[in-house]
A and B are shown apart, each in its own frame.
Chain A
Amino acid sequence: MNITQEDIRSRIEINSISGNEIEVNMGPHHPSTHGVIRFILHLDGEIVVRATPDVGYLHRSIEKIAEKLPYSAFMPYTDRVDYVAPVNCNVGYALAVETMGNLEVPERATWLRMLGMELTRIASHLLGVGALTVDLGAYTPFVHALREREYIFDLMEILTGTRMNNNYVRLGGVCQNVNDDFFEKLSKYLDHFVLFLDEFERLIGLNKIFIERLKGIGVVKAEEAIHFSLSGPNLRGSGVQIDLRKTDNYCFYDQLAFDVVVGKGKFGVVGDSYDRYDVRIEEMKQSEKLLRQILSKIKEGEIQAKIPKKLILPEGELYHRTEAPRGELGFHIISDGKSLTPYRVKIRTGSFTAMTTLSDKLKGMMVADVIAYFASLDVVAPEVDR
């Protein structure tokens, strides 16, 4: 069904400006480090009267590609769904296919997957928090966070073979094993990381200007967060205590003890941008705790089960969700029971639904607050556009 351009222009009012408003364009090229996302803002002085996000600049039609590839060949593409936290996306896809096909995963492989996931979660939150600080004008904490990410990349290189876009997980396990050297290095790094977080808090987290820029900005109440399907740290920052690692027991998360971090309105209102920042910092501390527990529980064993070379999943569909650093990562896989490739793969990401809050929340904010709020949502363009 083809809609003409006149239909579109008559239906939306992007081009109607009244009075003193100016229409400015923020992006898609932008020093704000979230990727290629464009905003069309109508400003009355400093205040935003209307905001329209325009996405699709990073649309790579990953879902269409999935229909042409066998299940195990699609794994590298899931890295690129969120290239800041690739192992999490790998595991999400692998779990969806394995649940649908009743495939066994050895115990050590699951522990290694969880190790990769939590380490990547720390790296992803570092980038999210660092990007928030650089958008607010503090350049140094960003570079410190990137330095920590470099240390984590070194560890990921030993674990998975590459620094980014790891392609670590295979259907039925992981692709390579590690020896105890790695666990020692990881343990030493975690000792250093806790102290780094303390230093980071003192550098920027408790800085008065930082707090004043973020407190009370973009308050998302708990009902609004549920209404807009926010997930992950954004949802928990609004006070809703839902963590998919606890509600949907996947992998071995039920054997580990950790807290679900919720925003408490530390310096302002519950659900403001500072809370979302704080939830990410505290989640990194929880991930560090999880990693230590994984280090104590991991045992020797196989790392990949035998999967049929030509894997055909039984006919049917499944929607499987996991907790990625940016929210709920859901894979909806439909199989027609007779071909080697999936019939349809739909990827649902946390950043996509975080973008839906924008046209509502940005009204009435100042331009500087637009940046602060958007950065606190930790949206990355590849997750939005896929």
Chain B
Amino acid sequence: MKYSIDICEKLVQLVSPVSAEIIQRESKMPIVKISAQEVRKVIQIAVSNPGLKFNFLNNISGTHLTEISEEGDIKSRGFALLYVLSRSDDFSSVVIGVDLPDLNPSVDSIDDIFGSANWFEREIYDLLGVVFNNSCDLRRIMLPDDWVGHPLRKDFQEKSSYNGIPTTREDELAAVRVDNL
């Protein structure tokens, strides 16, 4: 893979005074962690700075961070976003991570810098509920427009019916039981 600790340190250097720390240093993929307010600034520097020039967006992922106790209680700790950017000449990459709070998670959208960011952000909004401010078009992408809830969250519970269609069966094996066929 084309991740290297040097690129991360260069990025941290070039974005100062913004505070960024590198986590997962010894692993195969070091991540530059920044705070949610500085996402746009850091990414703009990563794209435009001639020493960096990371102008290809590989991925934006979102995760719901939780603590699951032994009884199975889920306590939500917030959200984490991961941006993977690459250089378009040799495809070396840098990974930027953001932690978001649990209540009303929101971050600035980067869909004017990258054309594909809008769909990635729409998917994260749809499935996790993270709002991207100043996005040009933030609406659900996979699920219908009138769906309630964000399924990829660890504590997601489906409503019992959607537009009159029940979402669960009382006896889940009833459909395949032989005497019902």
Tell me, yes or no, whether A binds B: yes
**Chain B 130-150 per-residue mask, 1 if CB under 8 angstroms from chain A, else 0:** 010000011111111110111
Q: Which residues of B contact A296 (CB under 8 A)?
A: none
Q: Which of A208-216, A279-287, A346-354 contacts B (4 or more CB under 8 A)?
A: A346-354
Q: A319-B58, A348-B58 are in contact. Are A332 and B91 (CB under 8 A)?
A: no
Q: Which residues of B contact A348 (CB under 8 A)?
A: 58-59, 61
A318 to B24, CA, bound (A): 10
Chain B nearest CB from A2 CB (Å) reads 6
Q: Tell me whether B88 is interfacial, beta carbon within 8 Å.
A: yes
Q: A5-B146, A12-B137 are in contact. Are A352 and B91 (CB under 8 A)?
A: no
The A226-254 residues at the B interface (CB cut-off 8 A) are 226-229, 240, 242, 244, 247-248, 250
Q: Which residues of A contact B95 (CB under 8 A)?
A: 319
Contact call A229/B152, Cβ cutoff below 8 A: no
Q: Give the nearest-CB partner of A230 in chain B.
A: B116
Chain B nearest CB from A255 CB (Å) reads 18
Q: A321-B58, A332-B59 are in contact. Are A56 and B141 (CB under 8 A)?
A: yes
A-B residue pair count with CB separations less than 8 angstroms: 114
User: Which of B1, B27, B84, B131 contacts A248 (CB under 8 A)?
Assistant: B1
Q: Tell me whether B157 is interfacial, beta carbon within 8 Å.
A: no
Q: Tell me whether A144 is interfacial, beta carbon within 8 Å.
A: no
Q: Which residues of A contact B129 (CB under 8 A)?
A: 1
Contact call B82/A318, Cβ cutoff below 8 A: no
A12 to B139, CA, bound (A): 9
Q: Tell me whether A316 is interfacial, beta carbon within 8 Å.
A: yes
Q: Interface size class for chain A?
A: 35 or more
Contact call B59/A330, Cβ cutoff below 8 A: yes
Contact call A385/B116, Cβ cutoff below 8 A: no
A357 to B116, CA, bound (A): 8
Contact call A353/B116, Cβ cutoff below 8 A: yes
Q: Tell me whether A47 is interfacial, beta carbon within 8 Å.
A: no
Contact call B142/A59, Cβ cutoff below 8 A: yes
Chain A nearest CB from B61 CB (Å) reads 4
**Chain B 14-56 per-residue mask, 1 if CB under 8 angstroms from chain A, else 0:** 0000000000100111010000000000000000000000011
Q: Which residues of B contact A224 (CB under 8 A)?
A: 115
User: Which of A56, A316, A344 contacts B143 (CB under 8 A)?
Assistant: A56
User: Which of B57, B91, B143 contacts A59 (CB under 8 A)?
Assistant: B143
User: Which of B82, B88, B142 contacts A385 (CB under 8 A)?
Assistant: B142
Residue picked from A1, A12, A244, A318, most chain B C-beta under 10 Å: A1
Residue picked from B82, B116, B140, B148, most chain A C-beta under 10 Å: B116
Chain A nearest CB from B89 CB (Å) reads 8
Contact call B59/A248, Cβ cutoff below 8 A: no
The A300-321 residues at the B interface (CB cut-off 8 A) are 316-321
Q: Tell me whether A328 is interfacial, beta carbon within 8 Å.
A: yes
Q: Which residues of B contact A355 (CB under 8 A)?
A: 119
**Chain A 323-334 per-residue mask, 1 if CB under 8 angstroms from chain B, else 0:** 000001010101
Q: Which residues of B contact A5 (CB under 8 A)?
A: 145-146
Chain B nearest CB from A338 CB (Å) reads 10
**Chain A 363-377 per-residue mask, 1 if CB under 8 angstroms from chain B, else 0:** 000000000000000
Q: Tell me whether B109 is interfacial, beta carbon within 8 Å.
A: no
Known: A319-B61, A330-B58, A353-B119. 6 other contacts (CB 8 A): A99-B28, A229-B114, A250-B1, A316-B24, A318-B27, A348-B58
Q: Offer 25 A-B interface pairs, CB within 8 angstroms, sorted by A.
A: A1-B131, A5-B146, A8-B139, A12-B137, A55-B142, A59-B143, A64-B151, A67-B154, A226-B88, A228-B115, A229-B57, A229-B58, A229-B115, A229-B116, A240-B88, A316-B29, A317-B82, A318-B27, A319-B84, A321-B1, A330-B58, A330-B59, A346-B61, A348-B58, A356-B115
| 7 tightest A-B CB contacts, nearest first | A229-B116, A56-B142, A247-B91, A228-B115, A346-B61, A356-B116, A59-B142
